[in-house]
Amino acid sequence: MFQLVNVEFAEWTKLIPESEIRRLLRYKVKYYFAGGKPGVLPLGAFPLIMMEIAKAELEAIFSGHEKRVIDDYNYGPTEGLPEVRKVMARIMRERDGLDLDPEEGWKDVLITTGSQQAIHLIMDVLTNPGDLVVVPQPVYLGFVNVVSKFLSNVITVPSDLNGVIPEYVEEAITAAEKQLGKKPKMVYVVPDSDNPSGTTMPEDRRRKLLDIVKDKDIYLVEDAAYREIQFRGEKLKPIRHLDKEGTHVIYLRSTSKEVAVLRVGYSLMPPEVREQVIKAKGYNDLCTPTITQKIAALYYERYFEEYIKKVREGYRKRYEAMAKAIDENFPEGIRTDPTGGFFIWWISENKEFDAKKFLEEVAIPNEVLYVPGEAFYPIKGYSYDPESGKLVNATRKKNEMRLSYSYSTVEEIEEGISFLGRLLRQHS
């Protein structure tokens, strides 16, 4: 037996278990509906981009401009390469209708190593232990666990088929002020095709939410990870579009779902937040890899418009296959009906149904993987209870599951979801 070093680990390591999704990623199963891994990728574009980069580099090397190539494999500015920030500024101007100055607006864009890093850095610079953050219930696991990591607390607020309910957000903030003597520092939402619930917030809710954060003078983190994966219905303007001056909304976009997992996130933040975030990023990763930033920029410049339609279409087919298979095969329950994104949220009518237990005891042994809904509830913190108008200890529901249609083919979805439906009927 080795002797363990007698050093105590940081407080948060005891609080937070390994991410349920990372744990589930290890299983190799026949029917995979767990993590939100992209499965519709613009495969034709990448070899061309890489050949173009390779050709330019060879030319530079053989024409005595090695220095230019050396920079491709070097440290770059912490906030991202200017030419890449310019491309991303154009994307947000043209596709989100954001009022970014055509000449200078790119300077507001920050490149991060995935939008996950932006989440981490925002929490790092804005929260102290014991601070409060308001989130929908259920909520993206990769956000709440970072909140807990910084020893802050979340307040979960009920949501419905249109996302989080703004009135309850307002009441939850007031309740926090009264009960805990503290104003939350921010509200976090995924307005376009939420992870995990698949819901999209209608425009009136977006406006209300912005009014609330402005009135309370706190930040709103708008996580737009699925912004481009909107395959039916109207594509709504981001909340950041309504926040004309960009004073309250921290707007996070990502290449991961709309291109590929290049680990390139792009964001806009109020200047005072951005300044601190860049400082923190400098200590976190020094810079985002230069070569992947260049791949991303070339992709958006040359291929994005053409491929995004195909990508969306691919996900629409997968969504349709999953929705139909659930409706035809699952026992009584309700599901969300996403207009985009990667996920359907299913709630069993049987309140006693334990999705986690079922996963371990039935689904995994039968080679089916999904994520039990309870993974999307915080480990600790508060929930706003509209009936009493009070904050109570965070609660978790067990009879829910998140089903991802992003990674599996239509055939695998049809077969796997029908099979899961049969298992659910037999065993619950």
Ligand X SMILES: Cc1ncc(COP(=O)(O)O)c(C=O)c1O
Q: Give me the residues that bind ligand X (CB under 6 A), please.
A: 36, 114-116, 140, 142, 190, 195, 223, 225, 254, 256, 261, 265
Cβ-based nearer residue to ligand X, 148 or 256: 256
3-state secondary structure 2-61: CCCCCCCCCHHHHHCCCCHHHHHHCCCCCEECCCCCCCCCCCCHHHHHHHHHHHHHHHHH
> What are the CA-CA distances from residue 409 to residues 319, 345, 374 (Å)?
10, 19, 26
Could you tell me the two tokens for 160? Answer: 């419905």
Cβ-based nearer residue to ligand X, 297 or 391: 297
CB 35 → ligand X: shortest distance, Å? 8
The C-alpha atoms of residue 171 and residue 64 are separated, in whole angstroms, by 65
- Give residue number: closest CB to ligand X: 114
CB 363 → ligand X: shortest distance, Å? 21
The C-alpha atoms of residue 232 and residue 217 are separated, in whole angstroms, by 34
Cβ-based nearer residue to ligand X, 164 or 175: 164
Cβ-based nearer residue to ligand X, 225 or 298: 225
DSSP per residue over 291-324, as a string?
A: HHHHHHHHHHHHTHHHHHHHHHHHHHHHHHHHHH
Query: Rounded to the nearest 10 degrees, how much is the dihedral formed by the CA atoms of 280, 138, 24, 259?
Result: -60
CB 254 → ligand X: shortest distance, Å? 3
5 near 141, Cβ under 8 Å?
no
CB 226 → ligand X: shortest distance, Å? 7
Alpha-helical (H) ranges within 223-289 are 239-242, 271-284
Going by their DSSP bridges, the two strands 153-160 and 132-137 should be labelled as parallel
The C-alpha atoms of residue 92 and residue 95 are separated, in whole angstroms, by 5
Burial of 422 (0-12, 13-18, 19+ CB in 10 A): middle
The kind and range of the H/E element at 187 are strand 186-189
Cβ-based nearer residue to ligand X, 190 or 344: 190
CB 149 → ligand X: shortest distance, Å? 15
Nearest-5° angle of CA 331, CA 34, CA 367?
Answer: 70
Cβ-based nearer residue to ligand X, 339 or 348: 339
CB 127 → ligand X: shortest distance, Å? 18
Q: How large is the angle between the packed helices 290-302 and 304-329, nearest 10 degrees?
A: 90
CB 348 → ligand X: shortest distance, Å? 23
Cβ-based nearer residue to ligand X, 121 or 190: 190
Cβ-based nearer residue to ligand X, 170 or 223: 223
CB 291 → ligand X: shortest distance, Å? 17
